[in-house]
């Protein structure tokens, strides 16, 4: 049994070697697009290429980035998760409510993350053993989890501060997670994003689990034949996504430090999926890298930042971001076709 698994993984690895050269080309495409946008903004506005603004961008993309890392696993495994915006709101609000109820930091964080993991397990089971397409299962969960957050908070904002009952030392650490700076320069949110991205890159590129995620998304049948439990791999991808969405939601509340179940993270799932797709992940599974996702997240973040800096009308901004998504993915597809 162990031998079949290993040879299956080896076969997947051999297949991936060819693929990885292709992927490197793809990342180059996204990278060039990012450089072009940055160069343009550098000349178009004085405020863009300043250390303050670049650190702002770093912070502004971090939460999107943390979630996009999770989405990369889910998309590569051939599934999609639409419930992440709701999970982000729910876990953040639960953690916040516990903290203002006088709970310690670790238990509050654990409950928030656990909630995210449970949502991931449900998404995973519905999409595998439940035989629902993940698009449908997670669309349902999007609504269920948002509803649960509204019921839990009664639609009231949750503001984490001492006056509402947060313990001083808990508040200090919690605030530092969202608002603090490492070496008084690098926003903590960016630090978390960097750590998570590196870990995810290691897992996806070098671990057995990473092999299996690619194998399952590339061809579920081939993966099953080579002894990989397709359902288990997919459920784990959803759990990872749930955990990361929960963590991003908790960091968001720590930063603001207020959230509201009707607004927090509304529509965020589309931003997350857009960033991941721009980074080269494929909705049909089997393709995508963490590096590509990071570049995709940066393109979306730099665009949002740059358009505001240039004073572009808010309505035109929406249009421009849509265009960038289409052009970025388009260039990717057109150049790849020519290359093959």
C-alpha 146/C-alpha 271 separation (Å) is: 17
Q: Can you state the angle between helices 230-255 and 168-179, rounded to 10 degrees?
A: 110
**Shortest distance in whole angstroms from residue 305 CB to another protein:** 5
**Shortest distance in whole angstroms from residue 186 CB to another protein:** 16
| Nearer CB in complex with another protein: 259/292 | 259
Q: Which ranges in the chain belong to alpha helices (H)?
A: 2-44, 51-76, 84-100, 105-127, 134-153, 168-179, 188-206, 208-218, 220-225, 230-255, 268-278, 290-309, 314-339
Six token digits for residue 130: 């439940």
| 45-81 b/e (C-beta count within 10 Å ≥ 16 → b) | beebeeeebeeebbbbbbbbbbbbbbbbbbbbbbbbb
| Nearer CB in complex with another protein: 83/134 | 83
**Shortest distance in whole angstroms from residue 143 CB to another protein:** 9
Pairing state between β 258-259 and 186-187: unpaired
**Shortest distance in whole angstroms from residue 65 CB to another protein:** 13
- Residue ranges binding another protein (CB under 8 A): 45, 47, 50, 52-53, 56, 60, 63, 146-147, 150, 154-157, 159, 161, 163-164, 179, 252, 255-256, 258-268, 304-305, 308-311, 314-315
- Among candidate residues 63, 303, 50, 295, the one with its CA nearest the CA of residue 191: 63
| Nearer CB in complex with another protein: 156/208 | 156
Specify whether the backbone of 80 is left (phi greater than 0), alpha (psi in -120 to 50) or beta. Answer: beta
**Shortest distance in whole angstroms from residue 257 CB to another protein:** 8
| Nearer CB in complex with another protein: 56/219 | 56
**Shortest distance in whole angstroms from residue 120 CB to another protein:** 21
| Nearer CB in complex with another protein: 163/337 | 163
| Nearer CB in complex with another protein: 133/165 | 165
| Nearer CB in complex with another protein: 89/204 | 89
**Shortest distance in whole angstroms from residue 188 CB to another protein:** 14
- The partner residues of 182 in beta bridges, in order of sequence, read 186
Q: Which ranges in 207-229 belong to alpha helices (H)?
A: 208-218, 220-225
Is 186 strand, coil or helix? strand
| Chain centroid, CA 179 distance in Å | 20
């Amino acid at each position: 049994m162990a031998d079949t698994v290993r040879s299956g993984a080896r076969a997947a690895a051999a297949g991936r070697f060819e693929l990885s050269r292709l992927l490197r080309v793809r990342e180059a495409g996204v990278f060039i697009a990012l450089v072009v946008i940055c160069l343009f903004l550098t000349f178009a506005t004085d405020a863009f290429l300043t250390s303050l603004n670049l650190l702002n961008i770093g912070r502004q993309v971090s939460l999107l980035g943390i979630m996009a890392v999770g989405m990369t696993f889910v998309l590569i495994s051939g599934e999609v998760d639409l419930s992440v915006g709701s999970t982000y709101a729910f876990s953040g609000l639960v953690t916040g409510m516990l903290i203002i109820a006088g709970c310690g930091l670790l238990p509050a964080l654990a409950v928030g993350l656990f909630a995210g993991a449970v949502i991931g397990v449900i998404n995973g089971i519905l999409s595998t053993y439940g035989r629902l397409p993940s698009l449908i299962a997670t669309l349902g969960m999007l609504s269920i989890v948002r509803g649960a957050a509204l019921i839990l908070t009664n639609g009231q904002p949750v503001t984490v501060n001492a006056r509402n009952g947060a313990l001083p030392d808990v508040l200090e650490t919690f605030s530092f997670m969202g608002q603090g700076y490492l070496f008084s320069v690098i926003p903590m949110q960016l630090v978390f994003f960097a750590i998570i991205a590196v870990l995810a890159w290691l897992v996806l590129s070098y671990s057995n689990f990473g092999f299996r995620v690619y194998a399952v998304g590339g061809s579920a049948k081939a993966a099953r034949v080579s002894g990989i439990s397709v359902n288990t791999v997919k459920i784990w991808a959803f759990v990872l996504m749930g955990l990361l969405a929960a963590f991003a939601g908790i960091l968001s509340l720590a930063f603001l430090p207020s959230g509201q179940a009707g607004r927090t993270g509304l529509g965020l799932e589309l931003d997350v999926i857009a960033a991941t797709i721009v980074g080269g992940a494929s909705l049909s599974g089997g393709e995508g890298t963490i590096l590509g996702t990071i570049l995709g997240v940066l393109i979306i973040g730099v665009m949002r930042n740059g358009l505001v800096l240039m004073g572009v009308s808010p309505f035109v901004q929406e249009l421009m971001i849509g265009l960038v998504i289409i052009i970025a993915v388009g260039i990717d597809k057109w150049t790849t076709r020519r290359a093959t």
